Copies of this chain bind each other. A is one copy, B any other.
Amino acid sequence: MGLTDFSHRLCPVARSMAVLGERWAILVLREAFYGTTRFDEFQRNLGIAPNILSARLRALVEHEVLERVPGPGARHEYRLTAKGRDFFPAYVALKRWADCWMTGPEGPPVVLQEAATGREVVAPPLLGGDGRELGPEAVRALPGPGASDAMRARLARQEADHA
């Protein structure tokens, strides 16, 4: 089985996290969400070694989360692509969890605010049809259009185990 086959075996979430789960990648992306575009700004804000920053930016450009575009003068800028911008709701959902479970008693280091209204920006809850929060035990996983035979067998087994 070739490398491509292996990558297709993994679920899309796992493939996403293989890129974005890397510690510096998510910090670079956070900076991009907060408006950073220039290499020297990323470097200063993150206190990161230039070679590590280069590698992270390159990976994010390769995965089309950022694009490298000509900036003022001889500089380049790193801009969020549509794919990168679209990660923002997932980032906010991760932040909610991390602020709740991964911070000390001092509370979250950063709060997000809607610029136009001053409202705090928090991830919306996941609700069921009855308007109550939906936990994993209330959800079934079913084969989607792109399910492999192995995934179909695996989900059928799950349904049988928990019937």
Minimum CB–CB distance from A162 to chain B (whole Å) comes to 5
List A1-28 residues whose CB lies under 8 Å from chain B. 8, 10-18, 20-24, 26-27
What B residues does A93 contact at CB under 8 A?
89-90, 92-94, 123
Of B32, B80, B100, B110, the residue contacting A144 (CB under 8 A) is: B110
Query: How many copies, total?
Result: 2
How many residues of chain A are within 8 Å of chain B by beta carbon?
Answer: 91
Contact A112 B141 (CB under 8 A): yes
Give the CA-CA distance A14 to B25 in the complex, in Å: 9
What B residues does A104 contact at CB under 8 A?
8, 146
Query: Which of the 9-residue segments A49-57, A68-76, A114-122 touches chain B?
Result: A114-122
